[in-house]
Structures are given as C-alpha cells and as structure tokens.
Structure 1
Amino acid sequence: MKDYVIRASTKNIPLRIFAATTQNTVEKARKIHHLTPLTSAALGRVLTATAMMGQMLKNVEDKLTLQLKGEGPILNLLATGNGKGEVKGYIGNPNVDLPLNENGKLAVGKAIGEGTLTVIMDLGLKEPYIGRVSLVNGEIAEDLAHYFAVSEQVPSAVALGVLVGKDQAIQSSGGFIIQVMPNCPENVIEVLEKRLSNLLPMTQLLAEGNSPEDILLNILSDFEVEFLEKKEVAYVCNCSKERLGKALITLGKEELTDIIDQDGQAELQCHFCNKKYYFSKQELKKLLEDAKQ
C-alpha cells in the first residue's frame, strides 16, 4: 500500500484534521541513513509530522522544515517537505541505541534530550516564517502539540508512531493531527478529550491494521466526518550537482581558492540521500569565476 496523508473535517464543527500512513517513506529513510530502531522511530516521527504539516501549506510549492536540536546523543533531527507530499530528512547521529524507557518503549525523548523545536515555513515571501519553542519531552508528538499551542495559538492533539520489527525493518508508521479551530463549542472539546484519553497507542493501532481513516473514524465517532483530500507521500531528495555547486559558491572566493590550491578537488555528500558529488579542479575554477561575478 502506498503512503498517504488524508485531510478531513467534521460537518458544522471547526476542526482541522490530518492523518497519515508512512511505512514506505520511513523504511526508505532507514535504509538510506542506516538507522537503528531508536533512530528509525525518531526520524520516522518527524517525517510523518512533516508530511501532515505539508498539507497545511497554501501552495504545493511552499516548503516546511522541522528541526529538533537537543542535548541528547541524537544531537539534531531535521525533516523538510512540501505540499506535494514529498519529504526528506536526516539525523545527526544515526547510530544511537539506548535501553527501552520505563514504559518499555524506544527512548526517543532521552535520545533527543532537552532542546528546541524550530518550524520554518518558506511561503515564497522575502523572509520565511520561523517559530521556535522549547521541547516538552523530546517525544516529538507532545513537542509539536506544544508548538501549535504556543506559536500558533491552536490547541492540537498530535500522535505519531513507528513500529520497528525484529529485523529492524519498519512494520508500520503513521500519525494524526487534530486541531481545534476558533469558536469550537466547549462540549465538542470535552468529547474529544475523553476519546483521546482512552485511545490506544499509535503503534498498537497501526499494528492492528488500522488505516488513517479507521483511526479518525474511531476518534471522531461522535461526529460526522468528511474526508476531503488524499495525497500520496514519498521520500524524495531533489539534490543535484548543480545545487551542490551553488552551495560551494556560497563558501566565498577565499575558501574556494584554498580548496583549489590545497586539495585540487572536492567531494560533497548530500545529507538527505547520502549521494556523493565530485568536483574536479577545472569545475572548481569555474565555480570560483561564478563567485567573483
């Protein structure tokens, strides 16, 4: 089954709703970055959140970036996506492997530690929107709910789950975001809170074979749910030698000259897909000429 994000609403009730299944996307990330079960769960949650939040963008060409920086051994988590359903990401230390936490779960929060969550939205304007909050616990779902409440003043329920098999392959991955928009009746919020408090963990719901639609219909069984749009999600890296060349130009004339004089060549690796690009001395000289213009 292909990965996808579903966007939904409830008739006559101001809720904004998204849910996703991202098994294939996270499995591709696991293989690219050679992730452990713990880092698969961490990066998988961020990729899933990015896929859903990408559908909040007004235009498909707009871009969204989620970055978590913490004091834990993972160091840095980053994912970027757009309105097309394309996502990609990387992790500072893909080899982290810690004992299970007190609940018998993968210790994602401990691996990330105290730090910050930054959300960057490039909406095609002169300057991107940047929102930053302190991490609540590093488990990512709660951190995002905190971000929505503080930076966007939108109360939100966020759930993210990645189920890793004994062979370390991703068995299932997904999540949902349910946002309470202005003028939502208080009794609706109370019903939602009660349903969510009794909800099984995301990994268990996915393991039982529930689709994003099933999960939403379960949570919102007291309301009339309307599914509005379904969009495929995939791990896509659009790196190229031309893009990496432009990155070299940004180093400036002095540093480019030093690379030419000392190394006579350069090899750059894309953080998102690990593909390597080689630049000969002649190519570097051409980039240096471009940098001077």
Structure 2
Amino acid sequence: MQDYLVRGVASDGSFRIFAARTTNTVEEARIRHNCWPVATAALGRTMTAALLMGANLKGEDILSIRVLGDGPLGAVLVTANAKGQVRGYVQEPQIHLPSTPEGKLPVGAAVGKGHLHITRDLGLKEPFTGSVELVSGEIAEDIAHYLTTSEQTPSAVSLGVLVDTDNSVLAAGGLWLQLLPGTSDEVLDILERNLSQLPHLSSLIKDGKTPEDIIQRVTQDIEIKILESMPVGFSCQCSRERLENLLIGIGKEEVSAMLEEEGQAEINCHFCAEQYHFNKEDLQEILKRIDQKQA
C-alpha cells in the first residue's frame, strides 16, 4: 500500500491539519540501516514529522531535523522536501533497552536529554535554524514544543511506529494539527475532545485507517476542506557523481594517500547506507581531474 500524506484546512481558516501513512518509508529506512526496534521507532517518528512539516514547504525548500540527545542512540538526523521525499539515519542503530512498564519502546530513554534543531533552507542566503531543549525525547512532544515556543505556532503532534516481533515495521504514521490566529474557543474545545479520544496513530494505521480517516476523527463536528493528497517515500539525493566531486574537493593529497595506502576507496552515504566503490583506475582518473582543475 502506497504511503501518502493528506493536507487539509478548516473551512473558517482556524487551523491546518496534516496526516500521513509512512509504514513503507520507515520500513525502508529500517532495512537500509539495519535498525533495531528502538532506533526504528526514533528514526521513523522523526522522518514522519519531517514529512508532515515538509508539506508546508515550497519548490526546492529543504527541512532538516536534528535530535541531539545524550542517550545511547546518539544523533538522529533527517531531511525532507516539499515533494514528499525524506531520508535519515540514527547514529547508533543497533541498541537495545528494556520496554517501558506499559510495554512500549523506550524512545525517550534512548534519546536522552539534549536539544532539537530544525533548519529550513528556503534558498535564501542563510538557512533559518531554531532550537529547543528536548522535553521528553519521545519526538512528538518535542516537535510540538518546538513549534509552539520557537515558531509561535500552537500545535498538536502525534507520531507512531509499531514494530513487529521480527523487527519489521507493522505500521507508521503521523498527525500535525496547526492552530492559526483567531481560533474560537468552541473549535478548540471540539479539537481537544476529539484528540483526547484518538487512539494511538500506529494502532489506527495497523487497523487500516487512512490519513483521511484520521483527519475525519480529529475534525469531527468541524467543517474542513481537503487541499491535497501526495505520495511520500524514502529518497536520497546521493549519487556516484556527487561523491566523485566530493573526492575532487578533498584534494590531491588525500586522494593520493587513498591510492597509495589502499589502492581503492569505499564511501558510504550516511543517509541511505548506499556504498560506492572507487577502484584504482577511478582514483587515478579523479587525480587527473584535480590536476586539470588546478591547471
């Protein structure tokens, strides 16, 4: 079943709402990085959040989320764009912690204390970065805290990743409700009531509920308009050509050392774990290109 995201708005303009199913996207990330369950949950939630926020971008804009905690997971880094493409990785994908007393994956404990950084590259001279302290390390609360305090956008965020006994992703998805200026108390009361009755996102998606179904439950008794439905998925912009340019950029001395010491080079992309091999002839050709560039 294709992953996709739906964007809607209240008919009176009082809020925006976004919902996404990301099961296949998170499963691809898990396979690429060989993640164990707690890392899958942390990375999957962050990727889903990036897709939801990325739906507010335009053109070639890029959004990056960095979760930098002091827990055993290390850093979680994700980027997404306006086209529904996302990629990401977790620094320590193979860690295990006991489940919480409620039987949930201990994402907060794995992330630890630290900071959340969100960068929007809107094609201007300098990207804009906002930062907040992590509230819980559970990702959804931290994103909502960031949006409310750093961007003055009161928001409700729900993110879920359900991992099966074989470590595969059974269900993943998310919801973002963004309040806009002038929301009436009546609308707020209805939204709060509906959100309080909403089951876990991953349970809804596991049961076959669509992003439209989720939006309908949250906005019950409020008139809304669905603006857009778009496919989302894991996508990395790395390529052999880009890495060749990277090798050219590090200079003759470094490439010569690779050639003399190893006779080859192996470069892995952090974001997608794709491996690129450069043999002796490749490195010799890159050295020629460096000489031509410097001539």
Say yes or no: TM over 0.5: yes
Q: Distance in 2 between matches of 1:31 and 1:102?
A: 28
Q: In the comparison of the two structures, how many residue pairs are matched?
A: 292
The answer for the alignment partner of 1:117 in structure 2 is 116
| Correspondence for 1:289 among 270, 288, 291 | 291
Q: Distance in 1 between matches of 2:293 and 2:134?
A: 39
SS in structure 1 at match of 2:15: strand
Structure 1 residues 6-15 or 191-200, which shifts more?
Answer: 191-200
Is the 8 Å Cα contact of residues 20 and 176 (structure 1) preserved in structure 2? yes
Q: Distance in 2 between matches of 1:251 and 1:184?
A: 53
The answer for the alignment partner of 2:58 in structure 1 is 58
Is the 8 Å Cα contact of residues 171 and 203 (structure 2) preserved in structure 1? no
Q: Distance in 1 between matches of 2:294 and 2:240?
A: 20
Amino acid at match of 1:230: S
SS in structure 1 at match of 2:250: coil
Is the 8 Å Cα contact of residues 248 and 287 (structure 2) preserved in structure 1? no
Pick closer, same or farther for the CA change 1:266–1:187 going to 2, 3 Å. same
Q: CA RMSD in A?
A: 1.8
Deviation string for 1:186-234 (max 9, x for gaps)?
3322322232223222222223222111111111102012111000011
The answer for the alignment partner of 2:95 in structure 1 is 96
The answer for the alignment partner of 1:208 in structure 2 is 207
Amino acid at match of 2:57: L
The answer for the alignment partner of 1:26 in structure 2 is 26
Q: Distance in 2 between matches of 1:291 and 1:75?
A: 39
Pick closer, same or farther for the CA change 1:247–1:133 going to 2, 3 Å. farther
Q: Distance in 2 between matches of 1:41 and 1:160?
A: 10
Q: Distance in 2 between matches of 1:142 and 1:108?
A: 12
Is the 8 Å Cα contact of residues 253 and 291 (structure 1) preserved in structure 2? no
Structure 1 residues 50-59 or 154-163, which shifts more?
Answer: 50-59
Q: Distance in 1 between matches of 2:225 and 2:163?
A: 31
Amino acid at match of 2:191: L
- Residue 152 (1) aligns with residue 151 (2): yes
Q: Distance in 1 between matches of 2:51 and 2:35?
A: 20
Deviation string for 1:15-41 (max 9, x for gaps)?
011000011111111111111121111
Pick closer, same or farther for the CA change 1:290–1:114 going to 2, 3 Å. farther
Q: Distance in 2 between matches of 1:194 and 1:286?
A: 67
Shift of 1:271: 1.3
The answer for the alignment partner of 2:75 in structure 1 is 76
- List alignment gaps of at least 5 residues for structure 2: none
Amino acid at match of 2:36: T
SS in structure 2 at match of 1:231: strand
Deviation string for 1:140-192 (max 9, x for gaps)?
00000011011110000000001111222211110100010112123322322
The answer for the alignment partner of 2:12 in structure 1 is 12
Amino acid at match of 2:237: N
Amino acid at match of 1:23: T
Shift of 1:273: 2.2
Could you state the TM-score of these two structures normalised by the residue count of structure 2?
0.93
Pick closer, same or farther for the CA change 1:207–1:116 going to 2, 3 Å. same
Q: Distance in 1 between matches of 2:220 and 2:264?
A: 61
The answer for the alignment partner of 1:275 in structure 2 is 274
Amino acid at match of 2:284: Q
The answer for the alignment partner of 1:191 in structure 2 is 190
